[in-house]
Structure 1
Amino acid sequence: MRPNGTAIRAIRRAQKMSLRAMQTTTGLNRGYLSRLERGLIRESDAEPVLKVASALNVSPDAITHKETT
């Protein structure tokens, strides 16, 4: 999956959720979440992206880039 860090950060901030709160909710490392938001992780396994989507209460499509064929 190709996570969209800009979208993740925008949604998280709109919900007034801190990275620390997201870490607690997802069980993912805060450093990993920060790198994800900054676009430093271009490809990810589905599991972390699904955890982030669940924590933000959005569909995975809302926080991933469209796959090009």
Structure 2
Amino acid sequence: MDMEKTVCYCMNVTNGMIKTAIDAGAKTLEEVQEATGAGTVCGSCIDNIKHLIDEFAPEQKK
């Protein structure tokens, strides 16, 4: 996965920034949004953010 790929163009947030937020303890969409700002403007990237949460933190989903 390209960690430099932009996920949220409104806030210029990359895959790597989402992973960093998850590694730092963000477990939910809301926590990732708070940490990165991703998905807080137009919302078109929310499905992609949810996918990344599932990929980077699969143990969080019970």
TM-score (norm 2): 0.33
Larger radius of gyration: 1
Ranked by relative contact order (alpha carbons within 8 Å, sequence separation 6 or more), the top structure is 1
More helix by share: 1
